[in-house]
Structure 1
Amino acid sequence: MKNNRTDLCNSLHSFQRSGAMVATAALTLFAASCNQGSQGDFSVDKATGVQYKFIKHNENGAKPAAGDYAQVEMIFKTDKDSVIMNTQTMRRRPGDTSHGIPIPLKFNFAGCLEQGITLMAAGDSALFRINADSLFVKQFQMKKLPPYIHPGSYLTFQVKLLYFQTQQQMQQMRQAMMAKRQAEAEAMKAQENPSIEKYLADHHYNVKPNADSLYVLKKTSGKGQEIKDGDTVTVAYTGRLLSGQGFDSSTAAHGPYKFAYSANAPAIKGWILALKGGHLGDKQTILIPSALGYGQYGMGNAIPPYSPLIFDMEVLKVEKGQAAGNGKAKKK
């Protein structure tokens, strides 16, 4: 498979991996269009060959052109009315409030969906009939049709055009978003040390960072075997932000974290330093600055950039030999 597949194809593959294939017509963007779809219902654009039927249409509205980017909500169905993709039900990361998917308007074959979208104005809703063979072979560059697609059949796309942008506008928007994220990250960086000081004061911890820049808030030393390089350690833990919001715990399904201890172990630097010279049975609560945690990037939506972390840790087992990691707090 080549690397120049469209956003539409990538979104389709993502949707199928999520297990969201459903054989029902109940998931529709437009309830009024549930029973549409025979060829006789559609008009044909003479210039492109696109088969279309408008549900809502602003004839005088500005239309996108080839090379623009269209943001759409869409349902993509087989000739048997089975839903292949519904952008409204696609799995997203927590906190993601975006709508629809972006589609670059590149024309891959006569009568393609992208040509159909150029007939629409922002806010329009329409149905399109697209040849399945052309879509999957010419556009998605698949060697053969998926088993649920019949050769020679037509697929129905129910599309709402949310808005469209030129390439220049899209680039400017992306640059603005990157600048905003950078500014937010810099603000978080500036607040890290004050937030640590406030946390220590609010919780009455009179501690300073140790030689490794860790804040050891509590510690009960164990009497067991000392941890040395190459030993396999098993650690129970709970991780949370200074706000108290938890982001991971060994009480979850994956259980305690077992890994081969070394300076290059598959764990954040703060963990490696916290366990250095430790013993079986050690229990401690540590505050890890972001430089020893997930740094300027954070970890998804769970850990923002430049976030200090609190970990409750207990060394459950120390044994000779190495084992592959099976838990969290890993390196990025």
Structure 2
Amino acid sequence: MKIGIHHRKGSFSDRWIEYLEEKKIPYVILNAFDNDIIKQIKDNGITHFMWHFNQNYFEDMLQARTLFRSINQIGIKTFPNEESYWHFDDKVSQKYLLEALDIPLVKSDVFYHQNEAEKYIENTSFPKVFKLKGGAGSINVKLVKTKQQAKKLVKQAFGRGFDAFDSWTVFTDTIERFRRQKTLHNFLRIIKWGGKGIFVDKQYKVFPKQRNYVYFQEFIPNLSYDIRLIVIGNKCYYLKRNTRNNDFRASGSGMLEFAPGKFNLEAVDIAFKAARQLNMICVAYDFIFDENDQPLVVEISYGFQPYVYDQCLGFYDKDLKWNKTDVNLEYEIVHSFLNAYS
């Protein structure tokens, strides 16, 4: 066994490398963007390849799936695996996948022709939640309160389209977070992300316009939080995310709680069962609860922000029992990946 890693500082690979060194498992750092990357993988005798590729980097989204699918053909195991990466950062793909597997999803509707979208608008109720396929932290999510708003979005979707990066939302969210939590960290965040909101970073400018489809999700009223559940192997980690002030969005709010409170534990059971159906080594779910307290998946992902989850206080096991312990999700990922494909 020899592990190849595409390393980016500040990603999962920081701790993947620490784990491999501690366990004395042979590894080599490779550049997935090298023209001769396939030759390097073969020459180094790589059996497993790991890359925490990121939806915010166009080159990652352009290259990662292509490379992984190619080396899968010669027997090399990858993290994420194909079942994890093909629908990554694509809410529309996830809609079809979760519906196919009968995993409880917030009701979602997608249309690829303007006339069909307009008919839907005339026959549905509002508000609805409008989303683009990609984007994290709620940056491409809008509450649509009226038919008139929906028609305007549909016209834009089948016309000039939408920027893949909602810079104004990033800017306003950053300011709101600083007003709520006046810390040095959040001040520096304003400088970084507020600047990206005003002067769109060049890495986002290369993403193509989002057009020729519209995606709506059912709006669940009176929500004050959602929960993030992350299943890795036989462990399910918990995080509560409170909604922004006078807003329905929880993702990206920065208002986090790590001690598990009372919630319908059926969500944990669903998370474990769905992970098996999805065949994902690591899967992060965003759950909300409807008016009958039934858990519904909003979206899924193989990846998430590193280090935040160090504050988790433990995990649920498959018997839905809470186990208090220190948490290092990156170690859990590489451990579960190598055990699954040893």
State the TM-score bracket (shorter-chain normalisation).
under 0.3
Q: Which has the higher helix share?
A: 2
Q: Which has the higher strand share?
A: 1
TM-score, normalization by structure 1: 0.21
